């Protein structure tokens, strides 16, 4: 496990404990996701947060001005602490670790489903029920479209990948044939 992953898990556990004490687990997740998405999708924000010539006080003030209306003090303080310690690049990892910690405690997991076309709500519900029964957890499904799959789909839950795509099946068949020939 990399040092960044360990650090992200520590921050996530501490943030989850605070959120749980205040009854703000879901809200904290949404707020942290908002900040992580902004930081990861905007190169100017990342450059601002990592700029050595901008003081820590200015960075914190800008974060509070930008997200103060959308984020609780515990989320803002956690993000400020990451920036203060030079770990602003770990915000996305903290979000991922928070999702895992919250999921473990609340009996919930997130499934990222990649399909060749968008899934309907009914299909998402069926996948959620099927994998929920398999894992004994409540599954939240997010869908990503990848037209290169041709057919089938892949489902990633945590570190486990369930590959039911046509592309994956063809790759496994190719490997089996190569092994048989050699």
- Which CATH number fits the domain that encloses residue 151? 3.40.30
Instruction: Let me know whether 94 and 139 are in one domain.
Output: no
Instruction: Let me know whether 30 and 116 are in one domain.
Output: no
What is the domain extent for residue 15? 3-103
Instruction: Let me know whether 81 and 154 are in one domain.
Output: no
Between CA 39 and CA 128 the distance in angstroms is 30
Instruction: Let me know whether 82 and 27 are in one domain.
Output: yes
Tens of pLDDT, residues 141-152? 999 999 888 888
Question: Given this model, what pLDDT does residue 21 score?
Answer: 93
Q: Are strands 138-145 and 154-157 parallel, antiparallel or unpaired?
A: unpaired
Structure tokens at 1: 């496990």
Tens of pLDDT, residues 45-55? 999 999 999 99
Instruction: Let me know whether 143 and 97 are in one domain.
Output: no
Low-confidence ranges of the chain (pLDDT < 70): 1-4
Instruction: Let me know whether 85 and 138 are in one domain.
Output: no
Q: What is the DSSP letter of 112?
A: E
Question: Given this model, what pLDDT does residue 159 score?
Answer: 81
Q: Which of 49, 68, 103 is where one domain is finished?
A: 103
CA distances to 81, 115, 120, 144 from 155, rounded to whole Å, are: 34, 9, 15, 10
Number of domains in the chain: 2
Q: Looking at residue 72, which CATH number applies to its domain?
A: 1.10.520.20
């Amino acid at each position: 496990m990399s040092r960044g992953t360990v650090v992200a898990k520590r921050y996530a556990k501490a943030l989850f404990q605070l959120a749980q004490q205040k009854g703000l687990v879901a809200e904290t997740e949404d707020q942290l996701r908002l900040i992580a998405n902004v930081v990861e999708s905007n190169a100017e924000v990342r450059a601002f947060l990592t700029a050595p010539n901008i003081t820590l006080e200015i960075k914190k003030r800008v974060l509070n001005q930008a997200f103060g209306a959308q984020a609780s003090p515990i989320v803002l303080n956690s993000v400020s602490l990451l920036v203060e310690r030079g770990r602003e690049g770990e915000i996305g990892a903290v979000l991922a670790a928070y999702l895992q910690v919250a999921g473990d405690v609340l009996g919930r997991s997130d499934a990222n489903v990649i399909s060749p076309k968008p899934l309907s709500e009914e299909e998402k519900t069926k996948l959620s029920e099927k994998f929920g029964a398999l894992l004994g957890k409540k599954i939240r499904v997010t869908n990503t479209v990848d037209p290169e799959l041709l057919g089938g789909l892949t489902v990633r839950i945590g570190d486990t990948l369930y590959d039911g795509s046509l592309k994956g099946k063809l790759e496994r068949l190719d490997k089996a044939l190569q092994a048989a020939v050699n």
